[in-house]
Amino acid sequence: MKGGITKSLDSLFVSETAAIGIGSLIIFIAMLLVAGIAATVLIQTMSSLQQQAMKTGEETLRDISAGLVVTHVTGYNNGSKITQLAIFITPTVASGDVDLTYSYISLSDSSTKVVLNYSSSCFSSSISNGLFNTINSSNLTASTFGLLVVRDIDGSCTASSPVINERDLVVLLVNTTKCFSGISTRTNVFGNVYPEYGVSGVISFVTPSAYVDTIVDLQP
């Protein structure tokens, strides 16, 4: 009789130990699940941050490497004032394509500032009748500029899609009579040609003390 009671007690002790072990196992599995979920969240966050970092890096590289350079500026003298400006621009070295549709000119004669956008109605794929006579600048307004193509190696610069790339050279034509009522002598003129992204081209010159020639080199 005593032997049977002892065996029953031993069985009871064994069952309690097993129950504790199962509880610990459940807690361990739950910890693994929580750790797995946390790891998944971390991996997704790291992937998202990596993609964002790559995108930011590409945009930064594009903004640094792309842009425009103003090579020189020439003016047309009607006898007393500069009535037209020809701004020669080219993309920076190793720059990507620059769409001049989304570019603009900011220009000031120290008393008035204008912002000019591209006008497809004043475009020429070549210079056929002189720099200032190829297109009719009277069609330009105080908020538009025209475009003359000097060099376009791949033919990408058209009236409807004026895209330039490395080694291309174009002229932006400005009617300064419409913008400033002409530019007098000893006038400080400054501004920028801003591409859609990247470095802007700088315009900066002072007109001479007297206008002698019809075509006046102003910058550099």
**pLDDT tens per residue, range 112-134:** 999 999 999 999 999 988 899 99
Which residue, 18, 49, 65, sits at the end of a domain? Answer: 65
Same domain, 73 and 42: no
Which residue, 33, 49, 65, sits at the end of a domain? Answer: 65
Same domain, 78 and 182: yes
> What is the number of other CB atoms lying within 10 angstroms of the CB of residue 169?
17
Distances (CA, A) of 7 to 19, 20, 61: 19, 20, 80
Q: Tell me what the pLDDT averaged over the chain comes to.
A: 85
Same domain, 58 and 75: no
Same domain, 79 and 51: no
Beta strands in 59-176 (DSSP E): 68-77, 82-91, 98-99, 104-108, 113-124, 144-151, 163-164, 169-175
For 112, the 3-state DSSP assignment is coil
Among 107, 120, 126, 109, which Cα is nearest to 193's? 107
Please give the residue range of the domain that contains residue 164: 67-219
Same domain, 57 and 114: no
Same domain, 98 and 129: yes
Same domain, 58 and 71: no
- What pLDDT is attached to residue 83? 96
Tokens read off for 127: 């210079």
Between these two residues, 136 and 59, which has the higher pLDDT value?
136
13 has a pLDDT exceeding 80: no
The number of folded domains in the chain is 2
Same domain, 117 and 139: yes
SS3 content of the chain, % helix, strand, coil (to 5): 35, 35, 30
Which residue, 65, 85, 116, sits at the end of a domain? Answer: 65
pTM over 0.85: no
Same domain, 54 and 83: no
At 79-103, the pLDDT tens digits run: 899 999 999 999 988 778 899 999 9
| Dist CA 165 CA 157 (whole Å) | 9
Same domain, 109 and 88: yes
Same domain, 61 and 75: no
Decide if 69 contacts 87 (C-beta within 8 A). no
